[in-house]
């Protein structure tokens, strides 16, 4: 059976070697690129299943690499886990908006990294087509089409990641009903996926930004989770 492949993009050699060791011990085929341009060339020639991507690189930064991966029809399904030492929410949000699947802040536990890589792989393997039912909300301004995996606002398509679309669809199915973060994770990724509540909040922030003024329809219920604003009843076809 072919082992899942992981590309580690990290310019600090000791960290890259440590991550490679733990991934290989966990059963992955792990390779290393110490520069952004070298990583893109590796991806072009031998696309991995997952990229563990440091944001701070000496040539191309991680955000630009993530942008190029997601812009490629051939490579956009590659899992991307960002690694940042900044602890800056703006960097995390920017990465999620570009399509990163998850993130870790340095320093991190190798066991946690392995769990996150497995989670991203499981997410891709378990992804199933949603029921072919279009949902219209906000007086018809917002459309969610699970069959085609398309979201529109005022008739114009909105580019969402797989996670963002799943969250929006789950909330839009029952406007006014509060969904906990755990319920959202389970609905979008399944029961066995390890995601923190903080990751849900970051994805939700990115989703709201992409929705513009309609992002306000996704309400935060403090201490509980999120809901789609009541009064914007769904029209399901």
Rounded CA gap, 17 and 30, in Å?
10
Residue ending a domain, among 103, 126, 149, is 126
Angle at 113 (CA atoms; ends 109, 70), nearest 5 degrees: 145
Q: To the nearest whole number, what is the mean pLDDT of the chain? A: 85
Residue ending a domain, among 99, 126, 153, is 126
Same domain membership, residue 92 and residue 19: yes
DSSP state of 49: S
Q: For position 176, which CATH number holds?
A: 1.10.10.10
Tens of pLDDT, residues 170-200:
999 888 888 888 888 888 877 666 666 788 8
Same domain membership, residue 140 and residue 186: yes
Q: For position 122, which CATH number holds?
A: 3.40.50.2300
| Stated length of the chain | 237
DSSP state of 4: P
Same domain membership, residue 117 and residue 227: no
Number of domains within the chain? 2
Domain enclosing residue 17, as ranges: 5-126
Give me the residue label for tokens 């082992």. Answer: 3
Stated pTM of the model: 0.60
Mark out the alpha helices in the chain (DSSP H runs).
13-25, 36-45, 62-71, 89-98, 110-126, 162-173, 181-189, 197-211
């Amino acid at each position: 059976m072919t082992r899942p492949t992981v590309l580690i993009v990290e310019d600090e050699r000791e960290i890259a070697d440590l991550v490679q060791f733990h991934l290989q011990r966990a059963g992955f085929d792990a390779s290393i690129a110490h520069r952004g341009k070298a990583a893109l060339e590796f991806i072009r020639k031998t696309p991995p299943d997952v990229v563990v991507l440091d944001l701070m690189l000496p040539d191309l930064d991680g955000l630009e690499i993530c942008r190029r991966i997601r812009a490629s029809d051939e490579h956009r399904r590659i899992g991307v886990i960002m690694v940042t030492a900044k602890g800056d929410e703006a960097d995390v949000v920017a990465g999620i908006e570009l399509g990163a699947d998850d993130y870790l802040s340095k320093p991190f536990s190798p066991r946690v990294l392995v769990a996150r890589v497995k989670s991203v792989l499981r997410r891709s393997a378990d992804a199933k087509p949603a029921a072919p039912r279009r949902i219209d909300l906000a007086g018809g301004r917002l459309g969610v089409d699970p069959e085609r995996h398309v979201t529109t606002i005022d008739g114009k398509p909105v580019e969402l990641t797989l996670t963002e679309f799943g969250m929006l669809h789950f909330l839009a199915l029952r406007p006014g009903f509060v969904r906990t973060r755990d319920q959202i994770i389970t609905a979008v990724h399944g029961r066995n996926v390890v995601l923190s509540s903080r990751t849900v909040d970051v994805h939700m922030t990115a989703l709201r930004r992409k929705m513009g003024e309609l992002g306000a329809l996704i309400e935060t219920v403090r201490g509980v989770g999120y809901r789609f604003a009541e009064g914007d009843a769904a029209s399901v076809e």
